Amino acid sequence: MDPVNMKEVQEALDSFKDKEVYLHMETTNGAYASHFNDKFFSAGAYIRNAKLSYERAKITGPGPYRVGLKIPFGWVYAEGITHYEIDSKSRLLLAGHDYDGKLAVALQLSETAFE
């Protein structure tokens, strides 16, 4: 994966606009709970192959970045994005890594289901 290039990521987001796509999104303790020192506290979210269509998408921020997808009844947001890749299957893979290089958040879009 490469560090985020806002122009390329925005173009990739726009290429999926108004299409039915598959979403993979996950967070780990690094994304929202890194400020907790309690070893028993855990937070995370995981969704795979949710089908959705969005009318608008935007990448913003000075880095790490926020990516928002405007869906018919609200928004899907991922915060803390640091890296991206457009793979050989034309999937957009976005990831955010914490200061130790561990995955904190991922948002991936594809026109075909993820394996």
Where residue 84 falls (left for φ over 0; alpha for ψ -120 to 50; beta otherwise) is: beta
Examine the pLDDT at 35 and tell me if it is beyond 80: no
Name the residue ranges covered by the structural domains of the chain.
2-35+42-62+69-110
Class of the domain covering 2-35+42-62+69-110: mainly beta
CB 13 within 8 A of CB 67: yes
* pTM summary value: 0.88
Examine the pLDDT at 73 and tell me if it is beyond 80: yes
The per-residue pLDDT for 67 is: 98
